[in-house]
């Protein structure tokens, strides 16, 4: 009796409160030219979780993991990563539709390039037809610099795959075992900056991050909603944590002087509305500074 063969790829779809968009995402996944796919929807608990369950029930081949609480982007994606049975894995979200050849193009590239650790498609804005993200770069200097490639362009000049520093967390393909060895996303980031941190960790270990222009996804443009307390908290916490984990030690004093001391004084003097979330975010990251710095030492010793 021949042993059963698992799926070649697991597609993990993170869902939160957008059942109508999830339906479109699953239709696009069902149309993929790569036939050997396992599809897992990970639903973070929301007021629309019952509707999400109803949508998934219309796709009998799709497995639903319903979280009892909102685990954030990182916790939800990590649940999907742990559950994946595929040799490869592709991470996406409920507000993103995949071009029919997207998964096949990414897996074909990873099949042929052992050195590639993370591979991603070009992300297009579904409504305007312009580029949302074609990779990017970041610099952890005294001033944090982040540049996303191709924003607003109507075409991509590069036809061949190219190396980059950054992929958005909701558009990443990898070998499942490699992503697990990397540790997936840091669950303590919850949301915001988790993709930069994963890419930084990948690059530090000598892995490559690649954009495959032949793979395309289409992102429904989000509505402009003011940042909530939770969002501001995680943004500030994760920026400080990112630096403590990955920035060159020589830049940390300048970074902390600018983004903690000077920024704190400015907010106290001019922007009290943002001060509570900012203060809590900075405090949580600094309290954990010894843990983050100890992780740096362990990573250095391991390499």
Predicted confidence (pLDDT) per residue in 174-219, tens digit: 999 999 999 999 999 999 999 999 999 999 999 999 999 999 999 9
Residue range(s) in the chain whose domain bears CATH number 3.90.550.10: 9-219
Give me the residues of the chain with pLDDT under 50, please.
Answer: 1-4
The span from the CA of 158 to the CA of 121, in Å, is 12
| Per-residue b or e along 214-248, where b marks 16 or more CB atoms closer than 10 Å to that residue's CB | bbbbbbbeeeeeeeeeeebbbbbbbbbbbbbbbbe
**pLDDT value at position 226?**
74
Give backbone dihedrals phi and psi of 161, rounded to 5 degrees, phi first. Answer: -55, 145
Taking each helix axis as running N to C, give the angle between helix 229-246 and helix 275-287, from 0 to 180 degrees, rounded to the nearest 10: 30
| pTM higher than 0.75 | yes
Determine contact, residues 134/120, Cβ cutoff 8 Å. Answer: no
- The set of residues, in sequence order, having a beta carbon less than 8 Å from that of 144 and lying 6+ positions away, is 138, 239, 243, 255, 259
**pLDDT value at position 298?**
86
Using DSSP's 3-state secondary structure scheme, residue 176 falls into helix
Determine contact, residues 291/247, Cβ cutoff 8 Å. Answer: no
**pLDDT value at position 11?**
98
**pLDDT value at position 303?**
66
The span from the CA of 62 to the CA of 40, in Å, is 6
Kind plus residue range of the DSSP H or E element containing 64: strand 62-66
Determine contact, residues 80/91, Cβ cutoff 8 Å. Answer: yes
**In this structure, which topology does domain 9-219 adopt according to CATH?**
Spore Coat Polysaccharide Biosynthesis Protein SpsA; Chain A (3.90.550)
């Amino acid at each position: 009796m021949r042993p059963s063969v698992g799926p070649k790829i697991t597609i993990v779809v993170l869902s939160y409160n957008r059942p109508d968009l999830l339906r479109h995402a699953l239709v696009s996944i069902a149309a993929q030219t790569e036939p050997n796919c396992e599809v897992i929807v990970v639903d973070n608990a929301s007021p629309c979780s019952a509707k999400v369950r109803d949508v998934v029930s219309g796709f009998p081949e799709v497995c639903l993991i319903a979280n009892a609480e909102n685990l954030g982007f990182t916790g939800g994606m990590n649940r999907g990563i742990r559950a994946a049975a595929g040799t490869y894995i592709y991470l996406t979200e409920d507000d993103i539709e995949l071009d029919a050849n997207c998964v096949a193009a990414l897996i074909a590239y990873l099949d042929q390039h052992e050195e590639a650790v993370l591979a991603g498609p070009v992300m297009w804005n579904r409504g305007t037809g312009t580029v949302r993200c074609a990779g990017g770069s970041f610099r952890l200097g005294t001033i944090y610099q982040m540049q996303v490639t191709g924003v607003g362009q109507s075409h991509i000049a590069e036809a061949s795959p190219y190396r980059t520093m950054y992929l958005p967390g909701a558009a990443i393909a990898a070998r499942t075992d490699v992503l697990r060895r990397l540790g997936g996303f840091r669950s303590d980031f919850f949301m915001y900056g988790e993709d930069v941190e994963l890419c930084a960790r990948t690059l530090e270990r000598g892995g490559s991050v690649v954009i495959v222009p032949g793979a395309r996804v289409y992102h429904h443009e989000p509505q402009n909603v003011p940042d909530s307390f939770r969002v501001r908290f995680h943004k500030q916490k994760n920026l400080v944590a990112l630096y403590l984990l990955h920035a060159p030690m020589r830049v940390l004093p300048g970074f902390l002087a600018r983004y903690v001391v000077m920024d704190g004084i400015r907010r106290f003097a001019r922007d009290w509305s943002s001060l509570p979330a900012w203060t809590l975010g900075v405090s949580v990251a600094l309290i954990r500074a010894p843990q983050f710095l100890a992780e740096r030492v362990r990573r250095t010793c391991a390499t």
